[in-house]
Amino acid sequence: MQATTLMVVGAGLGALLATPMSVQAKATDTQTTSELQQEIKTLQDQLNALQRRLDAQAADEQKAKAEAAAAQSAAAAATAATSAATAAIPGEVQAAVDAAKPKTDKIYYKGLSITLGGFVEMAPVYRERNQNNDISSAYNSIPFQSVSTADTSQVVFTERQSRFSALVAGDVDPSTHLSLYSEFDFQGAAQTANSKESNSYNPRVRHLFAAADWDDLGLHVLAGQAWSLATMNSNGITFTNTVYPPTIDGQYMPGYVWARQPQLRVVKDFDQQLWLGLSLENPQTTFYTGADALPKDVILVDGAAGTGLGFNESNTYSLNHVPDVIGKVAYEIPLADRKVHVEGFGLFSEFSTRLDYQNQKTSGGGWGAGLVLPVVPHLLDFQVSGLAGKGIGRYGSGQLTEVTFDPAGNMQPIHEVIALAGLTLHATPTFDVYVFAGEDKESAQSYDLVAADGTITPYGYGNPLYSNSGCYGETAKTTCTGNERLVEQLATGVWYKPYVGAFGTVRLGAEWAHTQFDTFEGKGGAPTVIQNAVFLSFRYYPFQQ
Instruction: Give the whole-angstrom CA distance, residue 165 versus residue 119.
Output: 9
The verdict on 137 and 57 lying in the same domain is: no
Higher pLDDT, 226 or 316: 226
CB pairs under 8 A, 24+ apart, for 345-350? 345/229, 345/230, 345/369, 347/230, 347/387, 347/389, 347/392, 347/395, 348/324, 349/283, 349/285, 349/324, 349/391, 349/392, 349/402, 350/283, 350/320, 350/321, 350/322
Q: Which of 99, 131, 148 is the last residue of a domain?
A: 99
| Whether pLDDT at 24 is above 50 | no
Residue scoring higher pLDDT (298 or 259): 259
Whether residue 535 sits in one domain with residue 421: yes
Cα separation of 118 and 138, whole Å? 24
**3-class DSSP state for residue 79?**
helix
Shared-domain flag, residues 389 and 493? yes
Domain containing residue 93: 2-99
Judge contact between 239 and 226, C-beta under 8 A: yes
pLDDT higher than 50, residue 415:
yes
Rg, the chain, Cα only: 46
**Total of domains in the chain:** 2
User: Using CA atoms, how far apart are residues 192 and 201, in angstroms rounded to an integer?
Assistant: 9
Q: Which residues pair with 19 in a beta bridge?
A: none
Q: Which has the higher per-residue pLDDT, 36 or 387? A: 387
β-partners of residue 435 are 423, 492
- pLDDT tens digits for 82-91? 566 555 556 6
User: Quick one: which of 320, 202, 329 has its CA closest to 261?
Assistant: 320
Span of 43-52, 285-294, 391-400, 471-480 with lowest mean pLDDT: 43-52
The reply to whether 89 and 150 lie within a common domain is: no
- The answer on 195 and 88 residing in a single domain is no
How far lies 186's CA from each of 135, 181, 262, 371, in Å?
11, 17, 19, 32
Identify the weakest region by mean pLDDT among 178-182, 334-338, 369-373: 334-338
User: Residues 94, 188: one domain?
Assistant: no
Residue 3 has pLDDT above 90, yes or no: no
Q: Choose among 208, 209, 165: nearest CA to 185.
A: 165
Q: Are residues 21 and 52 in the same domain?
A: yes
More confident residue, 14 or 149: 149
Q: Look at residue 16 and tell me whether its pLDDT is greater than 50.
A: no
Please provide the average confidence, as pLDDT, over all residues in the chain: 87
Average pLDDT over residues 209-218: 96
Dist CA 256 CA 242 (whole Å):
12
DSSP for 502-525 reads TTEEEEEEEEEEEEEEEE--BBTB
Residue at which a domain ends, from 33, 64, 99: 99
Contacts of 87 (CB under 8 A, 6+ apart): none
Lowest mean pLDDT among 90-94, 476-480, 494-498: 90-94
Out of 340-349, 465-474, 531-540, least confident range: 465-474
| Banded pLDDT at 100 (limits 50, 70, 90) | low
- The amino acid present at 489, given as its one-letter code, is Q
78 and 159 within one domain: no
CA distance 183 to 162: 11
pLDDT band at 22 (very low <50, low <70, confident <90, very high): very low
Q: Residue 277 in contact with residue 328, Cβ under 8 Å?
A: yes
Give the residue from 40, 67, 99 where a domain finishes. 99
Q: What percent of the chain has pLDDT over 90?
A: 63
Q: Dihedrals φ, ψ of 461, to 5°?
A: -125, 130
CB 489 within 8 A of CB 438: yes
Instruction: State how far the Cα of 241 lies from the Cα of 487, in Å rounded to an integer.
Output: 27
Residues 87 and 227 occupy one common structural domain: no
Bigger pLDDT: 303 vs 274: 274
Please spell the DSSP secondary structure of 300-338, one letter per residue: EE--EE--SSSS-TT-EE-B--S-EEEEEEEEEEEETTE
Asked whether residue 305 falls in the same domain as residue 215, the answer is: yes
For residue 439, is pLDDT > 90? yes
As a 3-state breakdown, the chain gives helix, strand, coil percent values, each rounded to 5, of: 20, 45, 35
More reliable by pLDDT, 83 or 234: 234
Is the pLDDT higher at 304 or at 3? 304
The Cα–Cα gap between 178 and 168 comes to: 8
User: Is the pLDDT higher at 333 or at 63?
Assistant: 333
**Which residues are paired to 522 by β-bridges?**
525
How far is 156 from 251, CA to CA, in rounded Å?
A: 16
pLDDT at 348 over 50: yes
Q: Mind listing the pLDDT tens digit for each residue in 293-322? A: 777 666 666 566 666 667 666 777 888 899
The residue that leads in pLDDT, 179 or 197, is 179
For residue 9, is pLDDT > 50? no
Residue from 395, 364, 390 nearest 443 by CA: 390
- Which is more confident, 494 or 240? 494
- Integer Cα distance of 373 and 382 in angstroms: 5
The CATH number that applies at residue 518 is 2.40.160.10
pLDDT of residue 520 exceeding 90, the answer is yes
Confidence grade of residue 153 (pLDDT, cut at 50, 70, 90): very high
Ranges 16-20, 68-72, 192-196: which has the least confidence:
16-20
Instruction: Give the pLDDT score at 103.
Output: 63
What is the residue type of 532? N
Q: Is pLDDT larger for residue 426 or for residue 309? A: 426
**Is the pLDDT assigned to residue 458 strictly greater than 90?**
yes
447 and 536 in a single domain? The answer is yes
- What pLDDT, on a 0 to 100 scale, did the predictor assign at position 13? 43
Asked if 536 and 430 sit in the same domain, the reply is: yes
Do 461 and 483 contact (CB within 8 A), yes or no? yes
Beta bridge partners of 266: 221, 278
Q: Which 3 state secondary structure label does DSSP give 419?
A: strand
d(CA 488, CA 420): 10
